[in-house]
Amino acid sequence: MDIPFTVSARPDTGLYNAKLGIWLFLASEVMLFGGLFSAYIFLRVGADYHWPIHELPVLPGFVNTMVLIASSVTIVMAWASLKLRRIFQFKLFMAITVACAGVFMVLKGFEYNAKFHHYSVELQDGTILTGHLPQGYEIKFGEATELSLTIQSENAAMDANPVKYVFPYLEGEAPAFKLADGSEIRLDKAGFSKLKKETVAAAREKIEKRKQELVEAGKKGEADALNVVPPTTVKLTAVSPMKFSVKPSKTFGYTAESITFKDGTVVKGKLLDDRMTLEVDGVDARSVADKEKSLAWEKKYLGEDWKKVFIANRDHAQHEFKEKYGDGRDPLKSATLQKHSYFMHIHSTTPSDHAPEGAGHSASNEAPAAAEGGHGDEAHGHHPTVVLDKKDISFFSNFTPKLNTYYAIYFTLTGLHGLHVVAGALVLAWFWLCNGKLLKTNPEHLANRVEVGGLFWHFVDLVWIFLFPLLYLL
């Protein structure tokens, strides 16, 4: 008893089941990516900031486009070879297709990796500085002796766990702590779990005792109602002061005197330093009303000399624009000109080394690519270093979905597309390597499978052909 039309087509519809199925599946996929493309349009049209343009490296993107198109050709060749029963060619073309997928993913990996190490810092006046953080960004907190833990008695979203959420950021060994009753404990894994057990037991006992009292007082209803055990806050004093250095994202927040960790533990002490050291490779003043008064030009940051470079760069870009288009185009409406004028890329440590023509528009397409490419430490030597006060920073992030909606949709679209590439390559590799038996017994069936896989592969290619201009060129 077999399902009909698994290999041969049904005469009146002209389709075998899997082919119909894959087209339906692709229709669903079209809706998926259609939703995401619509989201892209929606976000771009409604953006209330300068939508990033020409920020991605075009060359690797273009190579990837070619690679995928080539693989779409080879998968058809593989299918045709199999139909003609040319087994060697079939296997060869399958291998090339899967290899193309590999190349695509490796290039994508390099592109992603560069973004994870590149940062963008928005200052309070709207100026954006891009660059690298040579030491990462951590705040220093010292003279800390008091620790208050909120220990939950019920299953809760957040429960004190200093071993996991507090002590990893401690400099040096965790000291011993004194409890309120004067006894001394060590908050290692065993010590804390013992403390937790005792605290929870005590809280439960307290409730039980209260229940007992109520029952004795003849208030059984009230006793029954005590069904939830409340949390307990335990205060500990360290025998010697502690010093923390922690990323702000690992805390709920901090003040000059206290710091709250992600498990709700509050540590009291003194804030020592929360400035950020940044090696600047770009100044984006597009969102500043008076570009010449941007915070970036303050003496403690980049200073007047860089401002001169910025102005020269701006005038150069605007001059070129005028020469190129005359009065034919409104300079205020050109997002490209805005970017060339007010987004200065920095390639040297001092303004005097800075070649203004290099910072002009001609290089600006490649400049961020080079900066993002970063190539580790060697790039860092080529940029001025500034130390930013916390009060001047309004937001910072590396080039990840957090940075802005453009990078968010960029990572979502390309990430989801990448998953499709991987899944498609796995399926094709399966047909290529693991379907030997079917190849011998029923090559026509295998050809159907390859055809169906190929249809999916074409779809994946097509999505990229839309993605490339949308994210890299427009």
Partner 1 sequence: MSAAAIPHDHSHTDDHAHDHHDQSFIWKYVFSTDHKVIGIQYGLSGLLFLLVGFFLMMLMRWSIAYPGQPVPGLLFLENLPLIGGVFHDVIGRWAPGGIVNGELYNMLGAMHGTIMVFFGIVPLGFAAFGNYVMPLQIGTIDMAFPKLNMLSFWFFFISGVLMMYSFFSGTGAVQTGWTMYSPLASTTGLGVDNVWNHGHTWWLMAMVFNISASLLGSVNFITTIINLRARGMSWFRMPFFTWAMFVTAFLLLLAFPPLEVAALLQLSDRVFGSSFFLPTGLMEGGQHLDISGGGSPLLYQHLFWFLAHPEVYVLILPAFAIVAEVIPNNIRRPLWGYKSMVYSALTLGFLSFLVWAHHMYLTGMGTMMSTYFQITTVLISVPSVILLTCLMISLWGGSIRFNTQMLFASAFLPMFGIGGLTGLPLAFNFIDLALHDTYYVIGHFHYVVAPGTIFALFAGVYHWFPKLTGRFMNDKLGRLHFWPSLVGMNLVFAPMFIQGMAGFHRRWYDGGKYFEQTSADWLWLNEVMSIGAFILALAQVPFILNVFMSIKGGKKITNDNPWDATTLEWATPTPPPHGNFTFDVSAQRGPYEYSVPGATEDFTPQWADEKGKPAAAPASTPAPAHH
The footprint of partner 1 (CB under 8 A) covers 1-5, 10-13, 15-18, 20-21, 24-25, 27-29, 31-32, 34-36, 38-39, 42-43, 46-49, 154-159, 165, 224-228, 249, 252, 262-263, 395, 397, 400-405, 407-409, 411-412, 416
- Shortest approach of partner 1 to residue 150 CB, angstroms? 13
Residue closer to partner 1 by CB (options 93, 244) is 244
CA distance 118 to 101: 26
Burial, 371: exposed, middle or buried (Cβ in 10 Å; 0-12, 13-18, 19+)? buried
Region of 5 please: left (phi>0), alpha (psi -120 to 50) or beta: left
Residue closer to partner 1 by CB (options 140, 250) is 250
- Shortest approach of partner 1 to residue 129 CB, angstroms? 15
How many other C-beta atoms are found inside a 10 Å radius of the C-beta of residue 218?
A: 9
- Shortest approach of partner 1 to residue 13 CB, angstroms? 6
Residue closer to partner 1 by CB (options 116, 325) is 116
220's CB contacts (< 8 A; 6+ apart) are 214
Q: Are 291 and 126 in contact (CB under 8 A)?
A: no
- Shortest approach of partner 1 to residue 323 CB, angstroms? 34
Q: DSSP of 196-232, one letter per residue?
A: HHHHHHHHHHHHHHHHHHHHHTT-HHHHHT---PPPE
Residue closer to partner 1 by CB (options 30, 58) is 30
Three-state DSSP state, 137 = coil
321's CB contacts (< 8 A; 6+ apart) are 329, 331, 334, 337, 340
Q: Please provide residue 97's backbone torsions phi and psi, each rounded to the nearest 5 degrees.
A: -60, -50
- Shortest approach of partner 1 to residue 338 CB, angstroms? 17
Region of 335 please: left (phi>0), alpha (psi -120 to 50) or beta: alpha
- Shortest approach of partner 1 to residue 16 CB, angstroms? 8
- Shortest approach of partner 1 to residue 154 CB, angstroms? 5
Residue closer to partner 1 by CB (options 277, 398) is 398
- Shortest approach of partner 1 to residue 197 CB, angstroms? 18
Strands (E), 57-127: 119-123
Residue closer to partner 1 by CB (options 64, 404) is 404
How many other C-beta atoms are found inside a 10 Å radius of the C-beta of residue 344?
A: 29
Q: Are 431 and 446 in contact (CB under 8 A)?
A: yes
Strands (E), 52-175: 119-123, 128-132, 139-151
- Shortest approach of partner 1 to residue 32 CB, angstroms? 4
Residue closer to partner 1 by CB (options 193, 385) is 193
CA distance 259 to 254: 4
Residue closer to partner 1 by CB (options 164, 209) is 164
Residue closer to partner 1 by CB (options 28, 352) is 28
